[in-house]
Amino acid sequence: MKKIEYGMDFVARNLGIFKCPVCGRSFEKIVHKSVSCDQGHLFDFSKKGTLYFLKHGVKSDYNDETMWQARRNVLQAGLFQPIVDEISSFLSENRSLRIIDAGCGEGSTLKYFENKRESNKDIYVGFDISKRAINLATQGEGSAFFCIADLAQLPFAANSFDAIIDMFSPSAYGEFERILKKGGILFKVIPNENYLIELRHMLYEKNDNHYSYSNAEVLSLFKQHYPQARVKRINYEFTLKETSFEDLLYMTPLHWGAAETKIDDALATGLAKITVDVLLLMVEND
């Protein structure tokens, strides 16, 4: 089945998941190669089977194709595998779930969930604001549907998902609460101070703001919304034997503000392993 045919078939089978971002009404049918709401607003499927739900153009540093390819290489080598394993341990094994990845990037996280939970026949949706990332996500095998969407105005119906995965991405808690089913779980992953610390210290001097990191502001905001949330620290070392240091360097925005001499020195020196240090924040929608 061609990508566009798969995308159209997925949406046709799951129309109830989506809503029109223009008028907020339900999508009603597939018309030729578009999906239409009952007010006649049309959204065309791309050749890759994706839908573009943004109502205006967006300029973003995250449309860097080199970064997304590097990120795919590192994630497929297993950089975040322990994190995804931990999230998966909280998901029901007894039924199929609707799972959405907010800020899904190039799609590797959803593919890992699908492989790990293949017997559950879950429904997977990923969205990102980066068209380049979504185009790359469609190149892989898997059942997930991908779209370009605005975090602040999600094109999904209320009470549509059993789990929201938000790994290192911004959040729109009001929208998350709207699309999450009662009893569903929001998983948010944020960096700790030692996340990729070896790379951070290679690229910046001690007097630079990027030399250290604090998640205090992000954590405080999450706890304001969800004082009952569970917090679990995940810390491990990842050996770079299955991927290159160059991919690690370019997969993260850390290199954006670094001096060229620092980048050159880092590439010449390299690293054998890197620290992954994050907080997993979890809250059930009750």
> Contact 116/130 with Cβ under 8 angstroms?
no
The residue-averaged pLDDT of 103-123 equals 94
Residue 23 labelled as part of a binding site: yes
**Which phi and psi angles does 74 have, rounded to 5°?**
-75, -40
- Alpha-carbon distance of 255 to 271, in angstroms, equals 15
Residue 104 labelled as part of a binding site: no
The residue-averaged pLDDT of 99-111 equals 96
User: In a 10 Å sphere around its CB, with 0-12 CB exposed, 13-18 middle and 19+ buried, how is residue 206 labelled?
Assistant: exposed
- Alpha-carbon distance of 266 to 252, in angstroms, equals 14
Q: Which two tokens stand for residue 169?
A: 């991405």
Q: What b/e string do you get for 54-80 counting C-beta neighbours within 10 Å, with b at 16 or more?
A: eeeeeeeebebeebbbbbbbbbbbebb
- Alpha-carbon distance of 268 to 265, in angstroms, equals 5
Query: Is 70 exceeded by the pLDDT of residue 155?
Result: yes
In sequence order, what are the residues at sequence separation of 6 or more whose Cβ sits closer than 8 angstroms to the Cβ of residue 162?
92, 97, 98, 99, 180, 181, 183, 184, 185
Residue 107 labelled as part of a binding site: yes
Residue 80 labelled as part of a binding site: yes
User: ∠49-119-242 over CA atoms, to 5°?
Assistant: 75
Residue 20 labelled as part of a binding site: yes
Residues 12-68 have pLDDT tens digits of: 999 999 999 999 999 999 999 999 999 999 999 999 999 999 987 666 666 788 999
Residue 210 labelled as part of a binding site: no
DSSP per position, 253-268: GGGTTS-HHHHHHHHH
Residue 250 labelled as part of a binding site: no
**CB-facing half-sphere around the CA of 243: CA atoms within 13 A:** 23
The band of 204, judged by pLDDT with boundaries at 50, 70 and 90, is: very high
**Residue matched to tokens 């009603």:** 28
What does the mean pLDDT of the chain come to?
A: 95
Q: Which domains does the chain have, with CATH numbers?
A: 1-49 (no CATH), 50-284 (3.40.50.150)
Residue 37 labelled as part of a binding site: yes
The residue-averaged pLDDT of 219-225 equals 96
The whole-number pLDDT of residue 59 equals 65
The band of 225, judged by pLDDT with boundaries at 50, 70 and 90, is: very high
